[in-house]
Structure 1
Amino acid sequence: MRYANPKWLNSLGVKVLLAYVAGMVLSVALLLAAVFYLITTKSEILPSMDVAERAEEMAEALLFDSAGRPVGFLDSEDSHPWTYDSLRREISYRVLDAAGDVALASATGPGTAWPSTPATRRLTPGPFTFDFAGVPMYAGTAAVEHEGKRWYVQFAASKRIVELFQTEFALPFMGAGIVLFSLVMLFVFGACALITLRYTLKPLREVSESAAAISPRALHARLRVNAVPAEIAPLVASFNRVLERLEQGYRVQQGFLATAAHELKTPLALIRAQVELTDQGEERDSLLGDIQHMTRQVQQLLLLAEASEEQNYIFSMVDPRDVGAEAVGYLRRMADAANVRLTLRDDGPVAPWQADPATLFTLLKNLLENAIQHAPEGTEVSVTIGAEALTVRDSGPGVTPEQMARMFERFWRGAHRRDHGAGLGLSICQEIAGAHGWTLAAQRMEPGLLFRLTTRPAPDA
């Protein structure tokens, strides 16, 4: 059985953050591995290089007297002279002339770290090693020119003092530094990455919200390209071109619908007039019935085309009770012919609605016509108007759950109507409600059906 990945795993921001964390962890792991290798393998490369660099620094800081003889170092390079006296067996320095004779030394006499052996009189710049009293020593030589003479500065440190500082001081300090560095990377750079991602992905969220808001009534809307990242801009531009083609096709369809309905009205009127002039008979009545049915379909098609175009609406403050009274009065004769009572009620104080009065009348008229067509004889169809909603209730046979899902489909008709309608009335009502930002829903009752129109948008809108 296959399982879908959680939505957060498909998030671009989460993937970038995970890549950042993985990169940080890998970097710290490699750094720790390198340090561990250098410490555990007791490599002599780094200590030798450090000692040689120390010799070069001392050579640059060497001071001379008026006779051109070396006499000491700048304070910055000899700020702790006591260390050479206390640790004379562990660290020391000296200055040699071109012949290899000692001109200046940190300490002299027995016990110093410079035995009188040819191996220590190395006048070639660079690192070297030697043994002193059985202790390995790291040393380095650096050359310096002064008044035409060449001098050699040598610095030496025992292997054991170097390892002591590495294991007791350098390694803990380095470990603490790596931990601090990791925490800084994790929190500081992580926060920067999170803020950057939010700022970068904000245009994408705005584009997504704009795309979700596009409906058949807002096909003219386009997504902004200049606000999105350059990598996403081609996708947004392609989506806008799709919207252009969709709008064009929708306009062509609506235009064809309206044109066809208009073109059919006149021939139907002429045919009706000719049939009415013929002799009485069952064939004449049947033809008139067919013509009336076709005329109603054409009228409903026109209403549907008009309701689908937002520019056809003229909004103003409307008292829904006045519109309700007008619709009830308009359909009074139809209700009387069907032996159905029409009632209009108020559900508390009613404030004016922001609506197009003509289309609100059409919406209520279609709901009432639908209710009258399905209401049994001797029953009641009621209209109840409140501050933010109106309802139309009948006591007919109702609909099944399967039929409920199709009630607002175009050209769908229930099985209990008295006439043969076009199946467009409820679709027109839904279009009008959507244009106003309202919600029209049907609810099964016992008995009958209830339509509720609320001035609040649908929860998922």
Structure 2
Amino acid sequence: MRFRIEKQLNSISVKTLLAFFISMVLSISLIVFVLDAVYFFKNSIFSETDVNDFAKNFAQEILYNKEGIPEKMGLELEYPWLFESLVQEAAYRVIDQSGKVVLYSAAGAAFWSSVDIVHPVTTGYFKFEHDGVLMDAATAKAENDGQSWFVQLAVSRRFMFFSHDTFGFRFVRSGVIIFSLVLLLVFFFCAHFIVRHTLKPLRKLSESAALISPKFLQARLENDNLPTEIAPLVISFNHTLERLEHGYRTQQEFLSTAAHELKTPLTLIRTQLELMEETEERNWLLNDANYMSRQVQQLLLLAETSEFNNYNFIVVDIRYVVDEAIYYLQRMAESEKVNFVVKDYSNGSQWRADRGALFTLLKNLLENSIQHAPADTSILIVIYSNKIQVRDWGVALTKASYHSYLLVFGAEITGEILEQD
């Protein structure tokens, strides 16, 4: 269980999704922390900023009469009750370039009694007290027909805190929660899609790498549409495959060349030995030459069969191939005074195989049996629908032992010594 969890945590997709999730949680936590800190310390930053921004927008809503003199604010058309209901909490006035007030809100001039008009009028934030209540105020400038007008807007800080505490922060909290849930869902699905799309070339790359084997050393990994971080690794891996293929080809060429070069001298040595007078030393040398010739032949066969393209798979009548191998080795069997016994239980089964390679395998098995079988014994060849079994009674640990060689369709050749009861 622990290994499975560690394996999942080591996944690129899991790590990426986890990074997305952690970053989202940290971002949302930071927003909530800032809001809670402002709410806890009752900071006036929001109040000052809100009033200053509101004054700038409010100044653009001045409604002028035919003479170009301000007569009302556009916000009062939409909310006519606003400044009448909040005469103790909010007020405004409009001042011309000379410092004269041309328009008051419902609170009137008394609301601004503690604020002197400084000429020339400057824009920006300021604060004052009205009836013992702290006011946040701001001055904003408006232009109309070449004339400049200054709008001063004031809102009590207690009203701003009440609005923020009762409505603003509550709505913000609800908005943050809803926003967080939506953001997490959207980011999760988007990140999941992006990760799957990004890692798709890696999955294809893994499937391609699984197909590489000694029979397909010419295969290479595709580096198209790969992430830039992975591409150098794939290029290096392909270069490694090229070096391996070159070394493998060189080895196979050397194997084939060496076998061909040894074949002719061994044939000449064996011929010369056969022409010599038969002695015990001559027979030993002849047996050694025969053994070396057989090994050279095996090297040639190994060099040929190592190339998968050398195979030509067709439907083969297995009994016909067995009879062909027996006929080929009949003279050798007679010289060793052994005979072949064939039992066919295949019911005419056919194999799909390379005929030449299958013949070579059977020939090698029968040659090995002939060498181990005592004189005046039989070599048993049993043919099944999916395997061929070759048995000879050679010298082993017990007198009742025999050598058994099994050729299974679709598997490798296996040789073992079995004991009879």
Task: Give the TM bin, normalised by the shorter chain.
Answer: 0.7 to 0.9
1:222 aligns with 220
> What amino acid is the match of 1:104?
L
> What amino acid is the match of 2:92?
Y
Structure 1 residues 380 and 417: alpha-carbon distance in aligned structure 2, compared to 1, 3 A threshold = closer
1:46 aligns with 46
2:135 aligns with 137
2:114 aligns with 117
1:31 aligns with 31
Matches within 5 A, 1:175-324: 175-324=173-322
Structure 1 residues 373 and 80: alpha-carbon distance in aligned structure 2, compared to 1, 3 A threshold = farther
Q: Which runs of 5+ in 2 are unaligned?
A: none
Q: How far apart, CA to CA, are the structure 1 residues paired with 2:104 and 2:143?
A: 18
Kept in 2: contact 1:94–1:154 (CA 8 A) = yes
Kept in 1: contact 2:218–2:245 (CA 8 A) = yes
Q: CA deviation at 1:298?
A: 1.0
1:422 aligns with none
Q: How far apart, CA to CA, are the structure 1 residues paired with 2:64 and 2:419?
A: 116
Deviation by residue 1:124-176 (Cα, 9 ceiling, x = unmatched):
32222222222222222212244454432122222222112212221122122
Q: Higher mean Cα deviation, 288-297 or 96-105?
A: 96-105
> What amino acid is the match of 1:307?
T
2:80 aligns with 81
Structure 1 residues 113 and 5: alpha-carbon distance in aligned structure 2, compared to 1, 3 A threshold = farther
Kept in 1: contact 2:402–2:418 (CA 8 A) = no
Q: How far apart, CA to CA, are the structure 1 residues paired with 2:198 and 2:125?
A: 53
Q: How far apart, CA to CA, are the structure 2 residues paired with 1:4 and 1:295?
A: 55
> What amino acid is the match of 1:439?
A
Q: CA deviation at 1:332?
A: 6.6
1:411 aligns with none
1:55 counterpart = 2:55: yes
1:390 counterpart = 2:359: no
1:104 counterpart = 2:76: no
1:440 aligns with 412
> What amino acid is the match of 2:13?
G
Deviation by residue 1:339-389 (Cα, 9 ceiling, x = unmatched):
686444335673x44321111222334345556767899787453432xx3
Kept in 1: contact 2:83–2:107 (CA 8 A) = no
Kept in 1: contact 2:313–2:352 (CA 8 A) = yes
Q: How far apart, CA to CA, are the structure 2 residues paired with 1:105 and 1:396?
A: 125
Deviation by residue 1:235-258 (Cα, 9 ceiling, x = unmatched):
222222221221111111111111
Q: How far apart, CA to CA, are the structure 1 residues paired with 2:402 and 2:238?
A: 44
Q: Aligned with 2:344: secondary structure?
A: strand
> What amino acid is the match of 1:114?
F
Q: CA deviation at 1:32?
A: 1.6
Kept in 1: contact 2:95–2:150 (CA 8 A) = yes
Q: CA deviation at 1:305?
A: 1.0
Matches within 5 A, 1:440-459: 440=412, 442=414, 447=419
> What amino acid is the match of 1:62?
I
Q: How far apart, CA to CA, are the structure 2 residues paired with 1:87 and 1:135?
A: 14
Kept in 1: contact 2:129–2:135 (CA 8 A) = yes
2:72 aligns with 72
Q: How far apart, CA to CA, are the structure 1 residues paired with 2:356 and 2:244?
A: 29
Deviation by residue 1:172-204 (Cα, 9 ceiling, x = unmatched):
221222223322332212222222222222222
Q: Aligned with 2:223: secondary structure?
A: coil
Q: How far apart, CA to CA, are the structure 1 residues paired with 2:372 and 2:271?
A: 31
Q: How far apart, CA to CA, are the structure 1 residues paired with 2:283 and 2:417?
A: 38
The count of aligned residue pairs is 410
Structure 1 residues 368 and 228: alpha-carbon distance in aligned structure 2, compared to 1, 3 A threshold = farther
> What amino acid is the match of 2:202?
L
TM superposition score normalised by structure 1: 0.77
Structure 1 residues 264 and 83: alpha-carbon distance in aligned structure 2, compared to 1, 3 A threshold = same
Q: How far apart, CA to CA, are the structure 1 residues paired with 2:84 and 2:393?
A: 113
Identity of aligned residues (%): 45
User: What CA RMSD, in Å, does the superposition of the two structures yield over aligned residues?
Assistant: 3.7
Q: CA deviation at 1:306?
A: 0.9
> What amino acid is the match of 1:23?
S
Q: How far apart, CA to CA, are the structure 2 residues paired with 1:172 and 1:439?
A: 75
